[in-house]
Structure 1
């Protein structure tokens, strides 16, 4: 059994509560600290089954790492309540023109020539070079069509029932 002389003050914890250390078993504790009701439940490592710790907490997901230094596996857990309603639609792919190298009107022109004019990617690249003096690769135009196809499909679905 522990007596009064086997404990001594061991500094303060991060919230300012006095910590004590047992000289016999080296157990640290803060008796004045209130018990927290909310204990985070971290997932187990899917590789080794050991405990994980929170490595990064992002807006839409949390990154947990395995406590075993040999394993060091990362686990990404999405936060379902932080997903915006717009991202939960059937729209997949890029839906804005941010961070694009070329201006929006060049991209829209190329996409409209492909989807409405039924031109090839190489032909569209040639037309853009001659008409707009913009050198765009046919592979870049192909990537634009892959990225923005769901966006234009969604726009077509919303405006297909509108009569002018």
Structure 2
């Protein structure tokens, strides 16, 4: 009897170095990549949302809050740079579009 293993690759970095990392609430096997430390399942797809750059300092921004209608991004230099972006989501295609009424914000007090 031949042991056939599936060729599982990390959907984020393409590495085949991973550990089993428990199960999801739906019972799927969860894995953790040993290269990029991201968690994934065999059905995982890489995140198609591109990270914006901070308009204040130029650094990468990270998701701070996500709802069905928008994503709020925070500067990776927080708390030194307190700039954030609120970007509306288009519901049909889940495409990220700039919010119409809101854009880049920073704290009125630069020391905060």
Shorter chain as denominator, the TM-score bin is 0.3 to 0.5
Q: Rg: which structure is higher?
A: 1
More strand by share: 2
Query: TM-score if structure 1 supplies the norm length?
Result: 0.31
Bigger helix fraction: 1
Q: Which has the higher contact order (CA 8 A, sep 6+)?
A: 2
